[in-house]
Amino acid sequence: MATMTTSARPERGWQCPEAERLLTGATVVTFVRTVASVGLALYAAYDRSLTLLLVALAVYWVGDMADGALARLTDTETRIGAVFDIVSDRLCAGTFYVGLVWLEPAMALPVGVFLLEFAVVDTFVSLAFLAWPLRSPNYFYLVDRPIWLANWSKPGKAANSSAVALLMVITHSVPLCTAVALCLLAVKVWSLVRLDRLGLPLPQATGSPNPAAQAGQAGHAGQAA
């Protein structure tokens, strides 16, 4: 079972239920950058413009940094905002990479591997923070530092969000880009296996019964009888 680190001082990474809301300055930035990035990527594919596609990628990256910075600056980091950011990232990245394959079909293999890693495995890993009372996966070091280092530390984020895209645009090397994408996939699979070994607890309000857990216990008791 996973354990959570605690300290004498309050840690801002723990959730604050009374602060949860959808509409914040950060979520507005997330929405705007997502619409702008996806719109630019779609038009870039229509216009067959790699330059415009790279602008779409830049809007996604800059906007992704801006919404997180704004949330921290205004102390409006919420679980709702984190989930919105995660799913928006997948849409922005997906349109960029599909657009890249539209312009450069040779990149289909590394793009396919990367999308399997980012849109499927990494999505599950990123949403796993919801099983603990954390504000976002950025604070997963409170649960497990190795997983956090591999996924949400600055080097981890940079490798996952930009390495493959930059290599594709700069080198156009299918073997190299595929190898890097496979390495990223291996890291995510390792994270998934480690998560499974840690155990994913069911979220539960403090002092409230957990109906799912009670139902499971009742079922086991019935089988034992």
Task: Please report the domains of the chain, with CATH numbers, ordered by start residue.
Answer: 17-202 (1.20.120)
Distance from C-alpha of 89 to C-alpha of 86, rounded to nearest angstrom: 5
What is the structure's pLDDT at 130? 94
Give pTM, 2 decimals.
0.82
What is the structure's pLDDT at 17? 80
Q: What is the mean pLDDT of the chain?
A: 86
Q: Rounding to the nearest 10 degrees, give the CA dihedral for residues 216, 78, 124, 110.
A: 180
Q: What pLDDT digit, counting tens, does each position of 32-58 carry?
A: 999 999 999 999 999 999 999 999 999
* Average pLDDT rounded to a whole number, residues 11-23: 82
Count of alpha carbons within 13 angstroms of residue 67, beta-carbon side? 25
Supply the DSSP symbol for 159.
I
Reported as a pLDDT band with limits 50, 70 and 90, residue 221 is very low
Reported as a pLDDT band with limits 50, 70 and 90, residue 8 is very low
Q: Which 3 state secondary structure label does DSSP give 161?
A: helix
